[in-house]
Amino acid sequence: MTSYRKGKRNRFTLIGVLLLSVMLLSSCSPTDVLAFLAGCKKGTTAASGSDGSNVQASFDKAHYTPPKANPNPLIERAVRWAEATALDDSHGYSQARRNSLVDFDCSSLVWFAYKQAGLPLGDGWPFTTWTMGGILKGLGFQEFTWSGNPTDAASKLQRGDVLVDPVEHTEMSAGGGLFVGARHACPGGIEDGRSGDQCTTGNEEIGIGPAYQTRMTMVYRYTGGDKPANSPTTPNKPTTGSTSAAWTCQTTGNGNGAVNASYTGNGVHASPADAKGIARQQLRNGYKQWADDTEFQCLVWVWDRESGWRWNATNPSSGAYGIPQALPADKLAAAGSDWKDNSGTQISWGLNYIRDRYGSPCGAQSFWRAHNWY
């Protein structure tokens, strides 16, 4: 091996550093450079954001280094907890298990991050993207808007800021132009039926990196103290039983997900995929005017947000129940005595409700978009 004098070796090292700097500044975005300096590397895969944009691979779990800490210990605890959850493959994305402390959806990740940090969020069901703004403001967060432009993230946002698109998504700013959030099940949608992160590196279910979508223009910044009164230190495990409706955090376009169109079971305790198959069959058999894919997609969109197509989805506040979220719950009995357990019975009632009240699933979707309920 050729031996070099120390001065020449140092000179070559300096040249290498300068070349690397030029390479980064000429071929990478500011976010890429920040990620590189923070110990991340750009991956080779990409995910599609809910707005159709291309989202670069999130981060290298083995080398992630958090950006500069927030001086408020409460905020820093919240972000560190969210980052640790993202770095741990035993945690993944799920709307059905959003209160399990194993898997999370976008809003429950934020809820638990600040709950364990010390905010007095209580022991109820985690907030949703529709309700979190008012709750956060009541706990000392200041609300403001920003452009959503990724190039402004490093200068306009602080570590711990909560970004919200009330229609479907929320994440936390990790600082330095990076974000941490529960983004999607694997390979997509709101449920993959398995706990933990099933995705390959670069497309994590709970990820750190550029914002998953750019419509999160509502920002909530904590301005309270670092030790709120009567605040819990750790979140409680949820009780077993029926689960809450999942109205938000949809991150894959129309949210169709898996549909078992060939389902032939009796409908009892049907999975979300089987329930969608039942609905498609009922539309084709009894509602031929809605048999086209457009109306089915509208129906999927509405009930994704109402219940995630879960037969036992229960709104903990109102008591609305089942796939169509009937209120009161026993209205479902009009379609059959097995309404508590049978997805087919619930769907039958829900389709009649939509026909009588909105004329069609797309009519129900239009009303839901305007009023956040149907």
Give counts: helices (H), strands (E), the chain.
10, 8
Which residue did the predictor score with more confidence, 222 or 149? 222
| Whole-Å CA distances, 331 to 43, 47, 209, 326, 336 | 51, 41, 45, 6, 10
Cβ atoms of residues 205 and 71 within 8 Å: no
**Identity at 95, one-letter amino acid code:** Q
How many angstroms separate the CA atoms of 362 and 80, rounded? 42
Say which range, 71-80, 244-253, 326-335, has the weakest mean pLDDT: 244-253
Say which range, 11-15, 117-121, 370-374, has the weakest mean pLDDT: 11-15
Predicted pLDDT at 145: 93
pLDDT exceeds cutoff 90 at 130: no
Quickly state the pLDDT bin for 340 (edges 50, 70, 90). very high
Measured over the CA atoms of residue 342, residue 345, residue 350 and residue 353, the dihedral's sign is negative
Q: Is 0.85 topped by the overall pTM?
A: no
Contacts for 351 with CB less than 8 Å, ≥ 6 apart: 279, 282, 283, 286, 287
Predicted pLDDT at 19: 40
Residue 184's SS3 state is coil
| Whole-Å CA distances, 296 to 91, 179, 242, 255, 351 | 32, 34, 26, 12, 11
Residues in the chain: 374
- Give the tokens for residue 181: 């959030």
How many angstroms separate the CA atoms of 111 and 132, rounded? 9
Predicted pLDDT at 255: 38
Predicted pLDDT at 60: 67
Which of 53, 105, 78 is CA-nearest to residue 215? Answer: 53
Quickly state the pLDDT bin for 179 (edges 50, 70, 90). very high
